[in-house]
C-alpha cells in the first residue's frame, strides 16, 4: 500500500476529533478522551499495546497520575485523510525530564482507530 508523504499543516487544522482528544488528555478528562476512540481502537505507548476502550481508559488513568508534566503541541502533519501526526514537547518529572513525542493518529470515520506515541 502506497502512503502519501506527510506534509506539515497548521496544528489548528488538525481534525476536530484529534483536537478533542488532545484537549481532554491535557485536562486529564479520561471520559472525554476515551470517547474519541472507536470501540476496538488500539493505543501503542512506551512499547505497550492497549486494545479496546476499557484498556485505553486504564492507560489514560495511569498516565494521568504517573508523572507531572507540561505538554505543548509543536507541530502537525497530514499524510492522507485518515493519517495525522501531532508532535508534542513534554517537560516534567519523568526520566530524562524533556522529550519530543509524535502522536500518530489513524482515523476511522470521525473517531480515532489507532494512536501510536513514540519519540
How do the domains of the chain map onto residue ranges?
Answer: 7-118
Contact 3, 83 (CB under 8 A): yes
pLDDT at 87: 97
**pLDDT tens-digit profile of 1-44?**
455 799 999 999 999 999 999 999 989 899 999 999 999 999 99
Q: In the chain, what is the straight-line distance between the N-terminal and C-terminal CA atoms, in Å?
A: 24
Contact 112, 105 (CB under 8 A): yes
Q: What is the pTM of this model?
A: 0.92
pLDDT at 69: 87
CATH of domain 7-118: 3.10.450.50
pLDDT at 4: 77
pLDDT above 70 covers a percentage of the chain that reads: 97
Give the C-alpha separation, 79 to 106, whole Å.
10
pLDDT at 3: 59
Mean pLDDT of 50-73: 91
Amino acid at each position: 500500500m502506497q502512503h502519501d508523504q506527510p506534509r506539515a499543516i497548521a496544528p489548528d487544522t488538525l481534525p476536530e476529533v484529534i483536537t478533542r482528544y488532545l484537549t481532554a488528555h491535557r485536562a486529564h478528562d479520561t471520559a472525554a478522551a476515551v470517547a474519541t476512540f472507536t470501540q476496538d481502537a488500539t493505543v501503542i505507548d512506551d512499547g505497550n499495546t492497549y486494545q479496546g476502550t476499557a484498556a485505553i481508559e486504564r492507560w489514560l488513568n495511569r498516565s494521568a497520575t504517573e508523572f507531572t508534566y507540561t505538554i505543548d503541541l509543536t507541530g502537525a502533519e497530514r499524510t492522507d485523510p485518515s493519517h495525522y501526526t501531532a508532535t508534542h514537547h513534554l517537560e516534567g518529572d519523568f526520566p530524562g525530564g524533556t522529550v519530543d513525542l509524535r502522536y500518530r493518529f489513524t482515523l476511522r470515520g470521525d473517531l480515532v482507530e489507532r494512536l501510536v506515541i513514540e519519540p
